[in-house]
Amino acid sequence: MATVALQTEAQVIELVELCKDNYRVRLACEELAKQILPGQFFMLRKPGSSDPLLGRPFALYDTVHNESGEIIGIDVGFHVVGKMTSLMEQLTPDDHLEIWGPLGNGFPQIQTKHLILVAGGIGYTPFVATSRQALLHKQYGDTEASQSSIQAEKASLIYGVRSHEFQADMSDLSDITELDIQVCTEDGSAGHHGLVTDLLLPLLTDSSPEEKVVFTCGPVRMMQAVAELCQKHNVKCWVSLETPMACGFGACFSCVVPTKQSDDQWDYRRSCLEGPVFPGEEILWGQM
């Protein structure tokens, strides 16, 4: 999984609205796209500007190929929450973004009968590439040694949002026909009226715990609830943390998270370098 982080200015190819306050931006960055794996991320920044001062981390949504099948760039799904994402909402095809990556560890290389993906809000972005890798065996990574090898006989995506207006159009996943997508909303305006854990429980208990693996990404308390439910039912769970980050490559320690170590000790780990994907049972959720 070793990759060399690249820094470049990527041209915007297109910007598409996914749902209220959520967009997908396509960036031309061939070299980064050739290396990046599902669950890894990159930092984005406005070129030639110190406002905002720091780059912001974003997960790989998917890699993009041209009509000849050559890899040309990446897609980024984002939710408008602050300064950088408000700028990104205004991007047009002539614009550029400074980008550096691939960064972080990405999802573990697993083979399982049932891969269960649990997403809250914009936390579904890493699961587009992950689903495609697991079920369609699309390759990510440009050498045999670096290629991702997540494989599943079947996969489910549990996707929770506040209400229908924040539910992203899932057409980017429509070619993955085997992916079972279950939606829930907190206000009952679409899908199941309730929380992702309501939909997760039956999937955790329908067969032996060794036959399934859970990956989750979204708000911290949602991931905590998912990780704790998995632990209760002895199902392996990996969480992809969205910790705020300044450098993205291990130098500033702005992204540390408290983790359990062996022999009952605890210590901080850098989410950008040792993460952002961690075993759910290693996170000290009470201190997050």
Ligand X SMILES: Cc1cc2nc3c(=O)[nH]c(=O)nc-3n(C[C@H](O)[C@H](O)[C@H](O)COP(=O)(O)OP(=O)(O)OC[C@H]3O[C@@H](n4cnc5c(N)ncnc54)[C@H](O)[C@@H]3O)c2cc1C
Residue 147 vs residues 30, 38, 187: alpha-carbon distances, Å = 16, 10, 41
Angle at 109 between CA 103 and CA 110, to 5 degrees: 145
Report if residue 250 touches ligand FES, rule: CB under 6 A. yes
Instruction: Give the integer Cα–Cα distance in Å for 136 and 124.
Output: 18
User: By C-beta, is 188 or 250 nearer to ligand FES?
Assistant: 250
Reported residue count of the chain is 288
H or E element that contains 198:
helix 196-205
Q: For helices 196-205 and 220-232, give the axis angle rounded to 10 degrees.
A: 20
Report if residue 80 touches ligand FES, rule: CB under 6 A. no
Instruction: Give the per-residue contact string, 45-74, with ligand X (x = CB under 6 A; - = no).
Output: -------x---xxxx---------------
- Burial status of residue 5 (CB atoms within 10 A of its CB: 0-12, 13-18, 19 or more): middle
User: By C-beta, is 115 or 247 nearer to ligand FES?
Assistant: 247
What residues between 121 and 180 interact with ligand X by CB under 6 A?
122, 125
Report if residue 84 touches ligand X, rule: CB under 6 A. yes
Report if residue 136 touches ligand FES, rule: CB under 6 A. no
H or E element that contains 159:
strand 151-161
Report if residue 278 touches ligand X, rule: CB under 6 A. no
* Least distance in angstroms from the C-beta of 80 to ligand X: 7
Stretch that binds ligand X, among 11-19, 82-90, 128-136, 228-236 (CB under 6 A): 82-90
Sites of contact with ligand X (CB under 6 A): 41, 52, 56-59, 77-79, 81-85, 122, 125, 242-245, 276
Sites of contact with ligand FES (CB under 6 A): 245-248, 250-255, 270, 272
